[in-house]
Amino acid sequence: MIHTLLPDPPASILVVGSGGGFYIRFLEQTGYKARLLDLLDMGDVPTAVYDSVLLLGNLKAHNSISEALEKARALLRPEGTLIVYDEVCYDSSSHKGKTGVHLYTGLISALFENGFRIKSDEETVGNILQTYNKLAGQSSEVFDPSNHAVGSERLSDRKDPKKDLYEKRQTGWRILVAKKDRIFVRAYIKNDETVILPMFRKVFKADRTLEQWYWKFRDNPFGAHKIAEAFTEDGTLAAQYSGYPVPFSSSVGGREEFVSLQIGDIMTAPEVRNIGLGTSSVLSRIATYFYNKFCIDHVPFMYGFVAGNHRKFGERFLGYQYMSQIPYHVLDLTSYRQAHTGRIKRFLSGLSIKRETQITGEYDAFFDQVCRDYGLLVARRSDYLKWRYTDCPDNVHRFYGVRRFGKLIGWGVFSIRGDVLIWGDALFNKRYLEAAGFMLERLVTRDYPEVSKVEGWFSPLPGWWGDLLRDIGFQAIDEPNGLVSGIRPFDSLFSIEFVKGNLYYTMGDSDLF
C-alpha cells in the first residue's frame, strides 16, 4: 500500500525509523535511490534533497510530533511527499501515557503547523484486526495446553490489551500522505490581532475596533482565542477561521449543559483564494485544522448562519449541514392592530416594562424556570446576557425586562436601524404570552413612535412561539440575504435532524445583531 503512494523511480526516498532495512532493499531493487535514517540522529544529512520521506511507525518515540515533522520537512524538496504510517489515539482521555501513542487530532494539527497540506488520510485498523485474529488462530493450532500453566485456555481467547484498544476505537493505524507546502496554519498567539484587524478591513470593507475584537475573542467568559490562522512562508497572514464559545442548555437529548462554538469571522486574502481546490484550498485546510485543534472531543457541534453563495462549498468541503432558510419576521406598523389589554386590565394584571442597564441573578432564575419549554438553546443566563448585550462595545442593544407584580416573566433585546426596530432576542414564560404583545405595544407607541416596522429572525421552534408571533401580526418571509442556519457536528448525539427538530434561535445568536 505504501509503495503505491510513492513518486515514480528513480525518486530519492528517505525511510525514517528502525526496522526499515528490508524496505530499503525493496526500494533499491525497484529503481529508487533510498536511504535509512533515524531522525534523532540527523548528523550532516543535507536538507531539501529528498522527493519523499517515510515515517514508519516511529512517531511514538518522539515526545513532540511537531519536532519530528519539522525535521522531516527540512529534508524534503519543494512539493516533496511525506508519508506517515503510524498508530494514533482517537480518545483524548486515553493520552499518550496510557496508550503509548499520540492523539490523531494532534498529528493532523502538527502537519498543518509545519507547512504540510494533507492529500489523503486512510485508516487501516480493519487490516490490523484481521492480522491479530489470524495470528491468534495460528498460535492456538500449534499450542499444546497440557504443557503449559494456562491449562485448557485457548490463546485466541486471551485478552490482548492492544487488540482491545483497536476494537474500542481508542487507537488505530493510519496512512497519511502530505505535501510540503508554502502555507503554515497555527492557532492564535498574543498580538496576532495586529494583523487580523487589517485583513478584516480588507476582506469585509468594514472597520472593527480593537475594543470590539477584545470583547468578542479575548473577554468572552466562556472561552478565548478560538482562532486558526494561515500564513505564507514569509509570515503574511493569508486566512482566518474562528469561532467564539457559547453556553448551551438542552432539555432534550443526552447532554443538558455544554459549550458550543459559533462560527464567525471566516476570511481569506484574495491573493490565496486560487491556491488549491476543494479540500486542498486554504479555507478547507484552515477549517480542518480548527476542527482538530478546538472542536473534536471539545464541543458537540459548531453552528452558524451561512450566506447562500457559500452554502455549496461549506456542504462539500467543510462538513456543514443545513437546517433551513432563516424565517425573517416582519410586522408592518401601518396596519398593526395593537395587541393590548387596555389600561385598566393592564394595571390589574400587574404588567410593567423596564429598560435594563444591569443583568442580575434574577435572569438566572428566570432562565432555569423556562428553558425546558424551548428545547435546545443558548443558555441565556446573566453571564451570557451581560457579555452579549450590556458589555458589547457597539452600544446598540436596548434590553427590556417585562414583569408581572414585580416578577420577571420575559425579556426582549432591540436595536434601531433607520426607521426599523430590530427585535434581536427574546425569552418569555409561555404562561404569560400576552407579555410579549404588551412589550411591543409599549415600545412602538411610547418609546419608538417613529419606527415603521419591527423585524427579526426567529426559528420555527418552539411552535407556540411561532403561533404567538403570527397572532401579534408578524409575517414570515425569506431572509433578505438568503441566509441559512446550519451546524458542523462532532458528536453523533447532535445530528442535523436532532438539532433541526429542537433548536430555538434568534438574530442575537448570530454576530449580525
> 3-state DSSP call for residue 211?
helix
Distance CA 412, CA 297 (A): 34
Asked if residues 60 and 106 have their Cβ atoms less than 8 Å apart, the reply is no
Give the up-direction half-sphere exposure of residue 223: CA atoms within 13 A in the CB hemisphere: 17
The DSSP bridge partners found for residue 261 are 245, 302
Length of the chain: 513
**Distance set, CA 71 to CA 22, 50, 111, 234 (Å):** 23, 12, 12, 19
pLDDT confidence tier of residue 106, bands split at 50, 70 and 90: very high
Query: What are the φ/ψ torsions at residue 154 (nearest 5 degrees)?
Result: -75, 140
Task: Give me the pLDDT at residue 65, please.
Answer: 93
Q: What is the dihedral of CA 90, 91, 96, 98, to 10 degrees?
A: -130
Query: What is the predicted pLDDT for the residue at 96?
Result: 62
SS3 342: coil
Choose the weakest-confidence range: 10-19, 254-263, 340-349, 389-398: 340-349
Residue 30 and residue 83: Cα distance in Å, rounded? Answer: 18
Q: Which grid coordinates are listed for 233?
A: 512562508
Instruction: Give the pLDDT mean for 264-274.
Output: 94
Q: Give the pLDDT score at 506.
A: 98
Contact (CB, 8 A) for 295 and 302:
yes
β-strand pairing of 50-56 with 76-89? parallel
DSSP 56: E
pLDDT in tens, 446-503: 999 999 999 999 999 999 999 999 999 999 998 998 999 999 999 999 999 999 999 9
pLDDT confidence of residue 93: 80
Residue 425: per-residue pLDDT: 98
Over the chain, what is the mean pLDDT?
89
Percent of the chain with pLDDT over 70: 87
Burial 238-255 (b: 16+ CB within 10 A, else e): bbbbbbbbbbbbbeebee
For the chain, which domains are there? 3-181 (3.40.50.150), 184-300 (3.40.630.30), 328-478 (3.40.630.30)
Mean predicted confidence (pLDDT) in 302-329: 92
Sign of torsion over alpha carbons 314, 319, 323, 326:
negative
Average pLDDT of the residues in 223-234: 97
The CA-to-CA distance between both ends of the chain, in Å, stands at: 52
> Model confidence at 58, in pLDDT bands (50, 70, 90)?
confident
Of 101-110, 163-172, 181-190, the range with the lowest mean pLDDT is: 163-172
Pairing mode of beta strands 453-457, 420-428:
parallel
With left for phi above 0 and alpha for psi between -120 and 50, is residue 182 left, alpha or beta? alpha
Per-residue pLDDT, averaged over 138-159, amounts to 49
CA distances to 201, 212, 280, 399 from 394, rounded to whole Å, are: 17, 7, 37, 14
pLDDT at 337: 46
Mean pLDDT along residues 192-212: 97
- DSSP for 304-333, written as a single string: EEE-HHHHHHHHHHS--EEEEEPEEEEEET
Residue 344 has pLDDT above 50, yes or no: no
Rounded CA separation 141/104 (Å): 36
Residue 22 has what pLDDT?
A: 81
**What is the per-residue pLDDT for 309?**
75
Between CA 417 and CA 54 the distance in angstroms is 59
Q: What is the pTM of this model?
A: 0.90
Residue 310 pLDDT:
86
What span, in angstroms and rounded, lies between the C-alpha atoms of 405 and 428?
16
Q: How do residues 273-291 score in pLDDT, each as one tens digit?
A: 999 999 999 999 999 999 9
Query: pLDDT digit string (tens) for 384-443?
Result: 999 999 999 999 999 999 999 999 999 999 999 999 999 999 999 999 999 999 999 999
Contacts 24+ apart (CB under 8 A), 57-64: 57/17, 57/19, 57/85, 57/86, 57/87, 58/16, 58/17, 58/18, 58/86, 59/84, 59/86, 59/101, 59/102, 59/107, 60/86, 60/87, 60/96, 60/100, 60/101, 60/102
Query: How far is the C-alpha of 37 from the C-alpha of 50, rounded, in Å?
Result: 12
- pLDDT over 60 at 141, yes or no: no
